[in-house]
Amino acid sequence: MEVINIHHPYKNTEIPKDDVVLVLGFFDGVHLGHQKVIETAREEADRKNVKLAVMTFNHHPSVVFQKIDHKKMKYITTVEQKVKRMEEANVDILYIVEFTSAFAGLKPQDFVDQYIVGLHAVTAVAGFDYTYGKAEIAGMSHLPGYAKERFDIIEVPKQTQGEDKISSTNIRKMMAEGNMEGANAFLGYTYELSGMVVHGDKRGRTLGFPTANIKIPQKSLLPLGGVYAVKIQVANNWYMGMAQIGYNITFEKDRPMTIEVNILDFDEDIYGEQVSVQWCHFLRKEMKFDGVEGLITQLKIDEEDTRKYFTYKGVM
């Protein structure tokens, strides 16, 4: 897959001359709804014997429009994770547009001329709720007027599970509730965070439950704080683990938030390793104990519950 970063205004020499089927969207999460849009476009590209291209943005438009503080904006998928998902979806070209105020100021007709026609789209594919400006003048129903018969248009309808729309908003809501089964069902894969193992206070070792302290990208979205049954990948091998997103409130007040994983049946030093953590099942909220004895008792219960979960699922 070819990844092309675009800063507005782009030069024509930056854009491959091949005709493409072009998919439009932000694709945070690359969830099942997004996957349906991309699969539909892949079929169209194969039918027309052209390449499949996707256009997305380096950050959410709401950051530029000051609806969300850029320091507080968290993503279900980072740009790097999005690239990986697009490659897995057999996308040929991924355009990552830097969403600036200049780009945001494009009128709908200019957007269509420069970022659909200009990218040599023979077909534009997007979800039913895609907009390229104010919704009242730049929704999918308005696109044929701006297209002026220069390209075909495919609008993919709303995707649902049960009565619920598959959307990034609903996935965020479920993650905020610790409902990883629901979030993962909408994603179509198990939610994953990647980061480096860094040094912590090593208190877990004294308790008999050594942990890997994971430093993740600042922009990654975290599930609800608490303890989870997880899978962790270390050097291409996957292990069961129990992870806590929390503040270790039993020992001190006002500690920074950490992500710590006790890797079951594992006893190696892995500082500096890049690892990936898949968030499978919420076990409990973080609890404050009167002393280490109560904490150790609970950790033993958490380990038992983690093993039971993966035995029941038959995945480890």
Examine the domain organization and report whether 23 and 131 are in the same domain.
yes
170 falls within a domain: no
The DSSP 8-state label assigned to residue 145 in this structure reads H
45 falls within a domain: yes
Report pLDDT for 315. Answer: 62
How many CB atoms within 10 Å of residue 313?
Answer: 11
What count of Cα atoms within 13 Å lies in the side-chain half-sphere of residue 2? 11
Element (H, E) at 196: strand 192-198
Q: What is the CATH number of the domain that holds 36?
A: 3.40.50.620
179 falls within a domain: no
Report pLDDT for 63. Answer: 86
Examine the domain organization and report whether 33 and 133 are in the same domain.
yes
Q: Enumerate the H helices of 20-122 as residue ranges.
A: 32-48, 61-64, 79-88, 101-104, 108-112
Q: What is the mean pLDDT of each run of 10 residues along the chain (316 residues)?
A: 98 97 98 98 98 96 77 92 97 97 96 98 98 95 98 98 96 98 98 94 73 94 98 96 89 82 95 97 92 91 97 74
Examine the domain organization and report whether 158 and 26 are in the same domain.
yes
Examine the domain organization and report whether 108 and 211 are in the same domain.
no
Q: Cα dihedral angle (200, 202, 251, 258), rounded to 10 degrees?
A: 30
Examine the domain organization and report whether 200 and 84 are in the same domain.
no
In the numeric block, which tokens belong to residue 270?
Answer: 């892995």
Examine the domain organization and report whether 115 and 218 are in the same domain.
no
171 falls within a domain: no
For residue 9, is the peptide bond before it cis, meaning its omega torsion is within 30 degrees of 0?
A: yes
Question: What count of residues does the chain have?
Answer: 316
In the numeric block, which tokens belong to residue 263?
Answer: 């890797």
Examine the domain organization and report whether 154 and 277 are in the same domain.
no
177 falls within a domain: no
Which residues form the domain of 22?
2-164
Examine the domain organization and report whether 90 and 236 are in the same domain.
no
Which of 149, 164, 179 finishes a domain?
Answer: 164
Report pLDDT for 288. Answer: 87
Element (H, E) at 204: helix 203-207
Examine the domain organization and report whether 15 and 146 are in the same domain.
yes
For residue 217, is the peptide bond before it cis, meaning its omega torsion is within 30 degrees of 0?
A: no
Report pLDDT for 203. Answer: 64
Total structural domains within the chain: 2
